[in-house]
Homo-oligomer: A and B are copies of this chain.
Amino acid sequence: MSVPSVGRTVETLAEERANPPFDVRKLSIIQHGSEKDLLLKEKFMLELARDPIFYLGDIHDLTKDELRERTFEKVGSLVYHVTNESIDDFQKRMQVIGLCDPGFWTRFGVHYGLFLGAIRSGATPNQMSYWMEKGVISCQGMYGCFGMTELAHGSNVAGLETTATFDEQADQFVIHTPHIGATKWWIGGAAQTATHCAVFAQLVIKGKKHGTKTFIVPLRNIKTLELLPGINIGDIGKKMGRDGIDNGYIQFTNVRIPRAYMLMKHSQVSREGHVTEPALQQLTYGALLSGRTAMVSDAADTAKKSLTVAVRYAAVRRQFKSSAEADMETQILDYPIHQRRLMPLLAQAVAFGFTSLEMQRLYETTSSALESLEPGDENLDDVINQLKTTHATSAGLKAFCTWACLQTIDTSRQACGGHGYSSYNGFASMYSDFAVHCTWEGDNTILALQSGRFLIQAYQEVVKGQKQSGGTAYMNNIEQVLKGKCSDKEELDTLEGIDKGWSTVAAHAVKKAAEDYEQCLKSGQSREQAFEVCSQVRFVAASVHTSGFVFRQFRAAVERVEAGAERDHLELLCKFYGLWQMEEKAAFFLRSGWLTGELLDHVQARVSEHCASTRKFAIPLIDSFAISDHILNSPIGCHDGDVYERYFDLVRRNNPQLAEHKYSDKILRFIHRAPEEMEDFEGEIDLDSELEEMAEEREEAEKEAAEAKSKQETKEDK
């Protein structure tokens, strides 16, 4: 007799784990950067799983208001660590928390990342001490929010319309919202929590605008949380996701603050209203890097999270028998098409993981170079170049990694069939929470274009003979690189060969963008116009370049690993990623001549083979991602494979069966209504004449409107 479909799910996962072809622990350590980092993550995960305030089983059934209250309570649980842990360790803690509860991550980050970050990077030492005394570090006596975005302006910070007008007599700034479009909008923490706001506003002195500066503006009475005079704050309400944070809007009506509440590390306003601007505007960009760097690692982690669920479930879910004699149905992970859906994404998630480690390293190097920079330093140019490169790299990675992760979440959901649509399996909230990463801190499309602009400039430098380093080094010897061609199938089986392919093809894409751009300049367009006209080719260049960049980070990481089974399997995944992306962007490989049609067929066949071979170690690989059941919060993805019992239990626990059902009387009234309840009218509806009348009325109205318009015009002509 055949075994029931739900039997043996636990045994199935155990079998999948029985003989891993590598040491799972070792592979995990490699992916986490070091054993210490992995242990730290495990420590944090354990603490979270045991902290009652981080219980996640009921999270999908909380109302927005309940969720906000619970989310705020978590602040108290975390604040102890922020004041007692090294920044490095605390950042790793936050990375784990971001994966567990993105809404809380945002809520906590609004004060500690954005508000405190604004003060740290913008305040003079004296100002810093002042706000520290007020309690900014430990959230004692204040809670901050970050007032950048306005209703009418997002990406365009220079275009913000809130004004900060200097009143010399009073030595104060007057913060004002001139019209509805300048209303501060989306301000996290504003609706219910924040007592202070770091407000981005146009500095106005004696009628002259001096650009956007940052001002600390008190919002609420810290004893009662009542709004201060001139402050209008409202709740922005329901969002696609991250409802744990209380986003709000703020309107200022002639709100006065002392002059010293403008952050004056970079620009200063003197007692007499003189403005001093910083020597190097670029150096203030540094602040953007941190958020983007965090988003790249969040993209890698979240992709791994969603795939952990989808791949484990695919291993235990059985559907259709391969033959009538078969004992059990086939694991859906054994279907080639299911492997095609998930395995390339698995390779990609691993690639993103290594890329995010490199991005983190780049960020740290650049940040410390910036911090140690003294006025007049001789390595100023180097630092600025480094900043530019890091900036462009983070922009491109943030865009393409968050897009790819969002797609991964939805593909994972679909791969779980109907059960992916249940909130309790976690994909719905994973998607809706993650989706905002594609928009905030720089819309992805805009960021991709920035990366493309940087690539054009790099190309121009290369053509002039300037050597590139870092992410654009592949363009050195550009003429040789552009002439590259894949020699044979064997080359496609080596990391070096695949790398060459990406270099040639990315170089072609960048060249196309640069040449189109120069063509525009020659035809008399301004630089800005030319960049606009070339936006699509710029976008494409950034896209192809980024795939190559990610491959290269993965390759470099693999080559740093000591020889052994772990390295061998990572190398397989790296080739898989490189070839799959080749297939995805095949047109560029054909167009540039790097691949012939026959070789492309070979690439496609190899990708299918990689899907099949990766499937064999998919479960141990997933295990090496080391994401706890608590964080997965998805019964169909649980570690032990007991998916149906857990799923059924969770659904039952959250939907008690004996609870009263509020509108059963309405249902009864409806199904037992008497036929005569609806009054009969004489005759039938004549739908045709009803529609005819509608059409006539419509025509009449249009005629009248046209006549009125022509009368109006005649009048105006006179």
Instruction: Spell out A's residues near B (CB within 8 Å).
Output: 4-7, 25, 35-36, 39-40, 42-43, 60-61, 63-65, 68-69, 72-73, 75-76, 80, 84, 89, 135, 138-143, 149, 151-156, 159, 161, 178-183, 185-186, 191-193, 195, 222-225, 233-241, 249, 317-322, 329, 335-338, 340-341, 406, 410, 413-414, 417-418, 420-424, 427-428, 431-432, 435-436, 438-440, 443-445, 449, 528, 532-533, 535-536, 539, 586-587, 590-591, 593, 597, 600, 604, 608, 644-645, 647-648, 651-652, 654-655, 657, 661-664, 666-668, 670-673, 675, 678, 685, 687, 690-691, 694-695, 702
User: Distance (Å) between the CB of A53 and the closest chain B CB?
Assistant: 12
Contact of A691 among B36, B234, B664, B702 (CB under 8 A): B36
The reply to whether B417 and A443 form a contact with Cβ atoms under 8 Å apart is yes
Contact partners of A149 in chain B: CB under 8 A = 418
The residue that A608 contacts in the complex, of B155, B536, B702, with Cβ under 8 A, is B536
Docked pose: A668 CA to B76 CA in angstroms: 12
On chain B, the residues within 8 Å of A593 by CB distance are 597
How far is it, in angstroms, between the C-alpha of A604 and the C-alpha of B73 when the chains are bound? Answer: 53
Contact present for B422 and A236 (CB under 8 Å): yes
Q: Which residues of B contact A438 (CB under 8 A)?
A: 414
- Nearest-neighbour CB distance to chain B for A218, whole angstroms, equals 13
User: What is the bound-complex CA distance between A671 and B15, given in angstroms?
Assistant: 52
A140 contacts which of B652, B672, B695 (Cβ < 8 Å)? B672
**Contacting residues, chain B, for A422 (C-beta < 8 A):** 236-240
User: In the complex the two chains form, is B449's CB within 8 Å of A337's CB?
Assistant: yes
**Can you pick out 11 interface pairs between chain A and chain B where the beta carbons lie within 8 Å of each other?**
A5-B159, A43-B691, A69-B666, A73-B666, A192-B661, A222-B671, A238-B424, A238-B654, A414-B439, A414-B444, A418-B439
CB pair B89 A687 closer than 8 Å: yes
A6-B152, A39-B695, A75-B670 known, 18 other contacts, Cβ within 8 Å: A4-B161, A5-B153, A5-B159, A6-B181, A60-B238, A76-B670, A80-B678, A141-B672, A152-B317, A233-B657, A235-B657, A238-B424, A322-B528, A340-B539, A414-B439, A418-B439, A587-B587, A587-B600
Q: A192-B664, A341-B445 are in contact. Are A180 and B6 (CB under 8 A)?
A: yes
Which residues of B sit under 8 angstroms from A644, Cβ to Cβ?
151-152, 180-181
Q: Are the CB atoms of A240 and B694 closer together than 8 Å?
A: no
Give A608 to B512 CA distance when docked, in angstroms. Answer: 15
Assess the A535–B340 pair: CB atoms within 8 A.
Answer: yes
Q: Tell me whether A666 and B72 are in contact in the complex, defined as CB-CB below 8 angstroms, given that A155-B319, A424-B237, A651-B237 are known contacts.
A: yes
CA–CA, A76 to B155, complex, Å?
47
Query: Complex: how many Å from CA A699 to CA B560?
Result: 25
Do residues A155 and B417 form an inter-chain contact, with CB atoms below 8 A? Answer: yes
Q: Inside 8 A of A236's CB, which chain B residues have their CB?
A: 422, 651, 655
Docked Cα-Cα span, A225 to B200, in Å, equals 59
Q: Are A239 and B151 in contact (CB under 8 A)?
A: no
A239-B423, A536-B336, A590-B591 known; A154-B671 Cβ under 8 A:
no
Contact B651 A536 (CB under 8 A): no
Question: In whole angstroms, how far apart are the Cα atoms of A333 and B535 in the complex?
Answer: 14
Note all chain B residues with C-beta closer than 8 A to A685: 84
Partner of A539, one of B35, B195, B337, B667: B337
A437 to chain B, nearest CB (A): 11
Give the Cβ gap from A452 to chain B, nearest Cβ, in Å: 10
A590-B590, A651-B234, A695-B39 given; A63·B60 CB < 8 A: no
A336 CA to B528 CA, complexed, in Å: 13
List residues of chain B with CB within 8 A of the CB of A687. Answer: 89
**Which residues of the other chain, B, contact A4 by a CB distance below 8 angstroms?**
152, 161, 178-179, 181-182
Residues of B within 8 A of A151 (CB): 6, 644, 647-648
A142, A156, A338 pick with most chain B CB within 10 angstroms: A156
Smallest CB-CB separation from A645: which chain B residue? B180
A237 and B153 form a contact (CB under 8 A) = no
A597–B608 CB distance below 8 A: no
Are A72's CB and B237's CB within 8 A? Answer: no
Smallest beta-carbon distance A126→chain B, Å: 24
Query: Could you say which of A320, A449, A539 has the most chain B C-beta atoms within 10 Å of its C-beta?
Result: A320
Contact yes or no, A691 B237, CB < 8 A: no
Q: Name the B residues within 8 Å of A322 (CB-CB).
A: 528
Select the residue from A142, A337, A685 with max chain B CB neighbours within 10 A.
A337
Q: Do A337 and B536 have beta carbons less than 8 Å apart?
A: yes
Scoring A140, A159, A445, A539 by chain B CB atoms within 10 A of each residue's CB, the highest score goes to A445
A25 surroundings in chain B (CB, below 8 A): 702
Q: Which residue of B lies closest to A452 (CB)?
A: B337
A43 to B223, CA, bound (A): 56
- A61 cross-chain contacts in B, Cβ below 8 A: 64, 237-238
A40 to B690, CA, bound (A): 10
**Distance of A645 Cα from B181 Cα, bound (Å):** 9
Chain B residues whose CB sits within 8 angstroms of the CB of A36 once the complex forms: 691
- Pair A238/B5 contact, Cβ less than 8 Å: no
